Amino acid sequence: MNSPNTLARRLGTGDAVVIGLGSMIGAGIFAAFAPAAAAAGAGLLIGLLIAAAVAYCNATSSAQLAAQYPTSGGTYVYGRERLGPWPGFLAGWGFVIGKTASCAAMAMTFAAYAVPEPWQKPVAIAAILGLALVNYFGVTRTAAATRVIVTVVLAVLAVIVIAGLSSGAPAADGWASLTVTGGWYGVLQSAGLLFFAFAGYARIATMGEEVKEPQRTIPRAILTALSLAVAIYLLVAVGLLLTIGAQTVATSNAPLVDVVLARGWDWAGPLVRIGAAAAALGALLALIAGVGRTSLAMARHGDLPEWLASVHPRHRVPHRAEITLAVVVSVIVLLVDLRGAIGFSSFGVLLYYFVANVAAYTQSDSQRLYPKLLQILGALGCVVLIFTLPPVSIAAGVGMFLIGICYRVVRRRRG
């Protein structure tokens, strides 16, 4: 029987895959290709594969750890259990601040596709508050809503892929447009930007306390969602480059809309905008659920205010954590732009996965699902991608981590 502060296990493998896939395709398809093309041109295809490889290593670490520790909190819990309270805190803090910024980025992406400029910030805040309300009434509603959103987005992406890969007028220089610019640094920078698109599978691990048969379901769901996302990204990226060329992708505010317009499919332009808005909503919905549950886990251990550890007696969700998150994200939307939110998010999330890889490396042979080499490559990949971020993002990330460290030191001394 569940205790009053324990979450209910209601999610099956399909639900978990949908939540992870909804997070990933919402984060990257409509937001990351343009800056990646600006960094590396057609080298974004190489960057995409590098980001996918790092994400795969991180995913195996998360899956291996989640199978042993099927509880809410993700790498915050894994770091505490395997490495100690401080590494766990740093991972949890990185996830909370990084994904709080991601929530703001997805809300702003939704509003940018949905409404004209003067209305974007109010609509972004309305989306945050509305989806926080959906989460408030239970995780099964979250999974059901995400399933609808993912279905819409996949249908729109199918139209884009068909348009991009169909016969017709290609980019002005055709296959010759597939040239790499920016050297290896540009390629790695594109990988760092595109990694933002692969972080959705973490939502599956952070919801481990609500998944049925977590030892079997979590590893399967994480790798399935990641594999589907990689395939979708590659198809869309190739279609973009062949249809409008890397230079146009790099300078476009809505490159996926430009693909269908370049093929003369004017009727599909509004459809793509609807799909982009739906994708951003799906990512935001899953992000709110994941951040709320990591905040719950941190509050249980005293690393965030204990007030946030409350679970709603009827709906079985961390309602105070999610309400607080909605308020904080709304404030961020009012203060920062989309690019700043993405860069700041990447810093926190990459450090989070660095801790996950190190924690998985310490697991015993009996607990191991994957070879240690994958954890080594994942940790090194995270470090490399962190150093590709803009200096401003690195400085802001370091500053926020210093604030978190000071908070924990003061709290421990008072406690």
Q: Where are the domains of the chain?
A: 13-408
Q: Please give the backbone phi and psi of residue 337, each rounded to the nearest 5 degrees, phi first.
A: -100, 175
Q: What is the pLDDT of residue 251?
A: 83
Tell me if 75 sits within 8 A of 65, measured CB to CB: yes
Burial 150-175 (b: 16+ CB within 10 A, else e): bebbbebbebbbebbeeeeebbeeee
- The 8 Å CB, 24+ separation contacts for 357-360 are 357/57, 357/58, 357/61, 357/382, 358/82, 358/83, 358/87, 359/61, 359/65, 359/75, 359/78, 359/79, 359/81, 359/82, 359/83, 359/87, 360/60, 360/61, 360/62, 360/64, 360/65, 360/78, 360/82
Q: How far is CA 248 from the centre of its chain?
A: 26
**Each residue of 148-175: pLDDT tens digit?**
777 888 888 888 888 887 755 555 444 5
Q: What pTM does this model have?
A: 0.80
Which tokens go with 346? Answer: 């990447």
**Each residue of 175-226: pLDDT tens digit?**
555 677 778 888 998 898 888 888 766 666 656 566 677 667 777 887 888 8
Q: How far apart are CA 95 and CA 89, in angstroms?
A: 10
Least confident of 203-217, 227-241, 256-270: 203-217
Q: How far apart are CA 99 and CA 345, in angstroms?
A: 6
Residue 369: other Cβ atoms inside 10 A = 16
Q: What is the pLDDT of residue 1?
A: 44
Which tokens go with 245? Answer: 């060329």
Q: What is the pLDDT of residue 209?
A: 62
Which tokens go with 401? Answer: 């981590």
User: Nearest CA to 223 among 231, 212, 211, 235?
Assistant: 231
Partnered with residue 254 across adjacent β-strands are none
Report which of residues 115 and 51 the model is more confident about. Answer: 51
**Each residue of 293-346: pLDDT tens digit?**
777 777 877 777 777 777 766 766 777 888 888 898 999 898 887 777 877 888
N residues, the chain: 415
Q: How far apart are CA 265 and CA 166, in angstroms?
A: 12
Check whether domain 13-408 has CATH 3.40.47.10, yes or no = no
Q: How far apart are CA 298 and CA 159, in angstroms?
A: 42
Q: What is the pLDDT of residue 8?
A: 60
The answer, yes or no, to whether residue 286 has pLDDT greater than 70, is: yes
Most confident among 16-25, 211-220, 242-251 (mean pLDDT): 242-251
Question: Which residues are within 8 A (CB) of 182 and not within 5 positions of it... i.e. 6 or more apart?
Answer: 39, 40, 41, 43, 189, 190
